[in-house]
Amino acid sequence: MIIEIILIIALTNLLSSIKKPFVCSAIYTFVIVIFALFVENNLFDMLLVILIYFALSSLYFWLLDHFSEGILYWVIYIFGLIALLIV
């Protein structure tokens, strides 16, 4: 969980410099897949995990990129971080 928090914070910093949300979500999903390889045994479960994490992280990073200034950015940042950690 600590590694996931550090990863999300690092990717949001990367997003602020490259402005490509799908690159950040692909990196995030790749790291989650690496961790899931140690836990999941079923291929269908693994594909489901990949789809869910890519969809949620794409939405999260796109929203952060779209609302890159103001109070709404921080609301999305905090609630999105919590949502990605819960899933």
Q: What is the pLDDT of residues 20-34, one digit of tens each?
A: 999 999 999 999 888
Count how many domains the chain has. 1
Q: What is the pLDDT of residues 33-71, one digit of tens each?
A: 888 888 877 888 888 889 999 999 999 999 999 998 899
Range of the domain at 12: 2-86
Residue 46 backbone phi and psi in degrees, to 5: -65, -45
- For the entire predicted model, the pTM comes to 0.90
pLDDT at 9 over 90: yes
Asked if residues 36 and 46 have their Cβ atoms less than 8 Å apart, the reply is: yes
Asked if residues 24 and 57 have their Cβ atoms less than 8 Å apart, the reply is: yes
